[in-house]
Structure 1
Amino acid sequence: MISTFTNDNGRAVLIYREIKRRITELVYQPGDKLSEVRIASELGCGRSPVRTAFARLQSEGWIEISPQSGTFVRGLSDVEITEILEARMLLEAHLAGRAATRMEEATIARFRKAFAALGKRVSSDRMDEYLELDLQFHLAIYQAAANKVLAEVLLNLVDKVRWIRVASKGSPTRISSAVEEIGRVLDALEARDERAAAAAMRGHIENTMHFRHLGGPAETAAKTAPRALKNPSEQSSRKAR
């Protein structure tokens, strides 16, 4: 049972978070059919908060609901992935610039030490470690930049970027180069150079986009679900695990 809330709205928020976690961690994969009844049973709640959670997930582009065929996990097309990364690049570059004059020195030093340690032992089986450290770094930038509206927009984008990354086995080459790029962002933050911080963050995300076009981690998640959504009945045997 997932909830200690006594109202459906409170439960719906927790259920939304749990379903999204399962999607981003590929417990539910693109094309999988989600059962409202089964999820309600698994989470120890009624169907109403699950239905509310589904509505929010659909509005954010995580699932597709068809009255005829049911509810399916969406994938991302190449166009959608590119648009997500472009939006992230523009917004994060701006926030990195703002953070340059606001982030505490102790925070910068902590991330520099952590990324340096990770860079010395890069391998594909450390993708989870890199993703978690990378997430914490970007969250620290959002917090230091002190713009709650932009941070909220970016949080949903970051969830989707992580979803794309988890769909791959990871590349030691990309992790190594990403650590170097983040080092340049940290250099600019430490120097309190707004323009350099924005440029370094922009370059980091541009390189992520370039890596994807060379056949990087986005491809697996990008191409599975569009086919499922066009023919959802073909996926009816794939149940939410």
Structure 2
Amino acid sequence: MSKLYSVSELAYREVKELILSGELPGGELISEGEIATRMGSSRTPVREAFLRLEAEGWMRLYPKRGALIVPIAEGEAEHIVDARLLVEVHAVEAVTANPRGRDVLVATLRENLAEQRRLVESGGDPVRYSILDADFHRALVHAGGNPLLETFYDGLRERQRRMTANSLARDPEQITKIVEDHIRLADLVEAGDAAGFAAAVRLHMREVHALGEGGRR
């Protein structure tokens, strides 16, 4: 597939990234003109991008007023965390029974953690960090060896990134705590402690996304 995207595709990608990174927060109203000016394009490709983002549920369009960035719905964070927990814990249970697969996974996690540490030491760009965070957790699922669950999990990735960006915007200092949690999770995988991992990752997700006991805000 060609790397030369249409202007509409570029507008779609740029605006979606602004939403996922939290630069365009939920509840904000933007116009086609703002994005067209930012991109140096006409409004037509931006309008096409907005229609596509509306169809995906990221925007709500209001004629002559603009586009509202749809906030994270009430209960959405809890539902995403519940789904992630089911898939990640299942994957780790599967991989801890396979020493060779476990070794490969631990090496991948350690490599990702090295990048996380470098990012924190350089100042901690939240957008880049949300990607590394998503990659860390996806590596767990990939190691589980179930392509159907992996595909399902990939469908949560964008919403996961947006949630993490929101959490870091709320408390940028927690990046250090998240890295510490990830180190603990990697250690538990290496030790083959699936039960310990399940408890630790549940607490990790609840704290990062400010969910109370039982998974409720």
Asked whether the two chains share a fold, i.e. TM above 0.5, the reply is yes
Deviations 1:111-170 (A, max 9, x none): 347648967x979x5363754542331232243334242232221222221331242242
Matched residue type, 1:167: A
Residue 58 (str. 1) matches residue 60 (str. 2) = no
Contact 1:88 / 1:157 at 8 angstroms: preserved in 2?
no
Residue 141 (str. 1) matches residue 143 (str. 2) = no
Contact 1:91 / 1:154 at 8 angstroms: preserved in 2?
no
- Between the aligned partners of 2:184 and 2:116, the Cα distance in structure 1 is 15
Instruction: Say how many residue pairs are matched.
Output: 206
Matched residue type, 2:187: D
2:103 corresponds, among 98, 102, 105, to: 105
TM-score by length of 2: 0.69
Identity of aligned residues (%): 29
2:81 corresponds, among 75, 80, 85, to: 85
SS in 2 for 1:126: coil
Aligned-residue offset at 1:18: 1.1
Question: CA RMSD of the aligned region, Å?
Answer: 3.9
Contact 1:93 / 1:199 at 8 angstroms: preserved in 2?
no
SS in 2 for 1:64: strand
Aligned-residue offset at 1:99: 4.8
Give the corresponding residue for 1:126: 124
- Between the aligned partners of 2:53 and 2:212, the Cα distance in structure 1 is 27
Give the corresponding residue for 1:207: 207
SS in 1 for 2:156: helix
Contact 2:112 / 2:136 at 8 angstroms: preserved in 1?
no
Give the corresponding residue for 2:72: 76
Contact 1:93 / 1:198 at 8 angstroms: preserved in 2?
yes
Point out where structure 2 has 5 or more consecutive residues left out of the alignment. none
The 1:61/1:149 distance shift into structure 2, 3 A limit, reads same
SS in 1 for 2:124: helix
The 1:15/1:57 distance shift into structure 2, 3 A limit, reads same
SS in 1 for 2:158: helix
The 1:16/1:194 distance shift into structure 2, 3 A limit, reads farther
Matched residue type, 2:30: L
Point out where structure 1 has 5 or more consecutive residues left out of the alignment. 220-241
TM-score by length of 1: 0.63
- Between the aligned partners of 2:47 and 2:116, the Cα distance in structure 1 is 41
